[in-house]
Structure 1
Amino acid sequence: MFSFLRPNPLKSYRKQYGELLEAAMQAQRRGDIRGYSSLTEQAEEVAAKIEALEKQAAESGT
């Protein structure tokens, strides 16, 4: 009934993903390759969560 009041986890994951990619790019520009690889790995984990939520939404929608 009040599902529009519930926060959307997909939106927050997408925002987090973008922030991680931005931070990774800045680390790479600074020459911090270990930081870059760590941030990129974290971004990939968030991307996997996004894909899982989108797949779940598609399955429940059809």
Structure 2
Amino acid sequence: MFGLFKKKSEVEKLQEKYKKVMEEGFKLQSINRSDSDQKYLEADAILKEIDALKK
């Protein structure tokens, strides 16, 4: 209950965004491969940003 109003850190926000983009990329994989690859590149950029913030 006390964590209900806790603000998310920048890393937590980026992790959620990363997960969402990866799911979109997975769904696009069977429909359009080039769009899927673009989503995976976007997710990779988010992952690098997360790593930079953790250091």
Compute the TM-score of the two structures, normalised by the length of structure 1. 0.74
4+ aligned runs moved over 2 Å, structure 1: none
The Cα of 1:29 is off from its aligned counterpart by 2.1
Give unmatched runs, 5+ long, in structure 2. 1-5
Q: After superposition, where does 1:1-62 map in structure 2 within 5 Å?
A: 7-30=8-31, 32-55=32-55
Compute the TM-score of the two structures, normalised by the length of structure 2. 0.82
Number of positions where the alignment pairs a residue of Structure 1 with one of Structure 2:
50
Q: What CA distance in whole angstroms lies between the structure 2 residues aligned with 1:19 and 1:6?
A: 19
Cα RMSD of the aligned pairs, angstroms, is 1.3
Structure (1/2) with the larger helix percentage = 1
Give unmatched runs, 5+ long, in structure 1. 56-62
Give identity over the alignment, percent. 16
